[in-house]
């Protein structure tokens, strides 16, 4: 009998499982605290439990569903990426630990692959494989937290968190649970490519978690090309959802903008962006593009990036020009997973990504027209 991932259970489910064995509810809380606060990964380490219960846990549950397939650390030692996977499938996900002077940020995946199809993104080029469970999302944080004490968590890795809404937010609930990991909600950021209904749903939940929107273009004609979901939720629809979020939560929004040379880094886009965000409580993060195999675009040079930024600054729009991290280890989301697929492809393979078998997805990706689309054959 296969063992169930323990991290896929919330506390009431764990209590119910132990109650079925005749165990009192406080035993579940002991296990919960050990896993989320002490980072226990082996039932044998739960010495506060009776031996028989430890053995039963070992037979029924696995404390880690993922294994490390590969990991890389940048030359400056500040960025480390892990390639993770389950032993029963070939799908891979990525987690990244970024070290700054005062911060240690974990960048976490919520899906294997992505159905949003952003043209410049390695994960978008892969297509949708499957949603991650809440436990698999949480496990990434616990793993990276064992490496370094974390100050921030961003759901900005592989996948669209709001396309896997329930699992992504269930994971956030586990991480912020006062009886669990006790991570501060305001130190967690969820990034979305702009799924307007989910932004409204998120606003209505009045969470303290931060929200970032991957914008990348301020005209529909360009955003349709870079971010195809814009064809379903165009900029005005997205803007209204953002305004509703701001009115409901009174929390600042972050807009992400990947600067691509000669594509979205001109003064026309800067002016359009300034008009689009005018009146919003927001911050714009400008990020020079991370190169990918499947997209010919290049990162904007520093001088041109600063010129773009100056347009925003002149109109008093808060902004930051971020320094790219981990280029030497393919730290951009999906890059290491794609490279692994290419490296392991047979010599006679046509599309190297075709060699990766897929588990059946739990939710079909959304295509720009608004109807469910079949996941790409990876």
| DSSP output for 86-114 | -TT---EEEEEEEE-SS-EEEE--SEEE-
Q: What average pLDDT is seen over the chain?
A: 87
Q: What mean pLDDT is predicted for residues 207-217?
A: 98
Full DSSP string of 230-269: GGTS-HHHHHHHHHHHHHHH---EEEEEEEBTTTT-SHHH
Q: Which CATH number fits domain 67-343: 3.20.20.70, 1.20.1560.10, 3.30.70.3040, 3.30.1330.10?
A: 3.20.20.70
Q: Which residues are catalytic?
A: 94, 333
Give per-residue pLDDT as tens, 125-152.
999 999 999 999 999 999 999 888 999 9
* Confidence band for 2, pLDDT divided at 50, 70 and 90: confident
Domain chopping of the chain, boundaries? 11-62, 67-343
Q: Is residue 351 over pLDDT 70?
A: no
As a whole number of angstroms, the distance between CA 169 and CA 111 comes to 13
Is 11-62's fold the same as 67-343's?
Answer: no
Give per-residue pLDDT as tens, 305-321.
999 999 999 999 999 99
In this structure, which topology does domain 11-62 adopt according to CATH?
DNA polymerase; domain 1 (1.10.150)
Q: pTM value?
A: 0.86
Residue written as tokens 């616990």? 142
Encoded tokens for 345: 């492809």
Report pLDDT for 20.
97
Give per-residue pLDDT as tens, 254-268.
999 999 999 999 999
Give per-residue pLDDT as tens, 11-60.
999 999 999 999 999 999 999 999 999 999 999 999 999 999 999 999 99
Give per-residue pLDDT as tens, 179-196.
889 999 999 999 999 999
Report pLDDT for 291.
85
């Amino acid at each position: 009998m296969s063992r169930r991932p323990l991290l896929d259970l919330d506390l009431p489910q764990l209590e119910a499982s132990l109650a079925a064995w005749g165990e009192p509810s406080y035993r579940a809380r002991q296990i919960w605290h050990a896993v989320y606060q002490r980072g226990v990964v082996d039932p044998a380490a739960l010495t506060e439990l009776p031996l028989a219960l430890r053995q039963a846990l070992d037979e029924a549950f696995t404390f880690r569903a993922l294994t490390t397939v590969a990991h890389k650390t940048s030359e400056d030692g500040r960025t480390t990426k892990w390639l993770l996977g389950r032993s029963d499938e070939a799908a891979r996900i990525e987690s990244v630990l970024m070290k700054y002077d005062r911060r240690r940020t974990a960048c976490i995946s919520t899906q294997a692959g992505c159905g949003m199809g952003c043209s410049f993104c390695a994960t978008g080029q892969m297509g949708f494989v499957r949603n991650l469970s809440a436990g698999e999302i949480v496990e990434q944080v616990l793993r990276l937290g064992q490496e370094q004490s974390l100050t921030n968590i961003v759901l900005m890795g592989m996948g669209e968190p709001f396309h896997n809404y329930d699992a992504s937010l269930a994971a956030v609930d586990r991480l912020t649970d006062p009886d669990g990991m006790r991570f501060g909600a305001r130190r967690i950021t969820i990034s979305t490519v702009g799924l307007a209904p989910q932004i409204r749903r998120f606003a209505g939940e009045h969470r303290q978690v931060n929200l970032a929107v991957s914008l990348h273009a301020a005209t529909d004609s360009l955003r349709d090309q870079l971010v195809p979901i814009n064809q379903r939720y165009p900029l005005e629809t997205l803007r209204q959802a953002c305004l509703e979020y701001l009115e409901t939560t009174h929390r600042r929004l972050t807009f992400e903008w990947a600067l691509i040379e000669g594509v979205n880094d001109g003064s026309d886009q800067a002016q359009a962006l300034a008009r689009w965000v005018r009146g919003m409580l927001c911050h714009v993060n400008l990020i020079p593009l991370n190169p990918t195999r499947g997209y010919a675009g290049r990162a904007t040079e520093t001088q041109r990036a600063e010129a773009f930024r100056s347009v925003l600054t002149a109109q008093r729009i808060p902004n930051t020009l971020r320094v790219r991290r981990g280029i030497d280890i393919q730290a951009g989301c999906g890059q290491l997973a794609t490279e692994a697929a290419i490296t392991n492809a047979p010599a006679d393979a046509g599309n190297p990504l075709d060699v990766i078998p897929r588990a059946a997805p739990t939710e079909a990706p959304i295509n720009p027209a608004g109807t469910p689309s079949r996941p790409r054959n990876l």
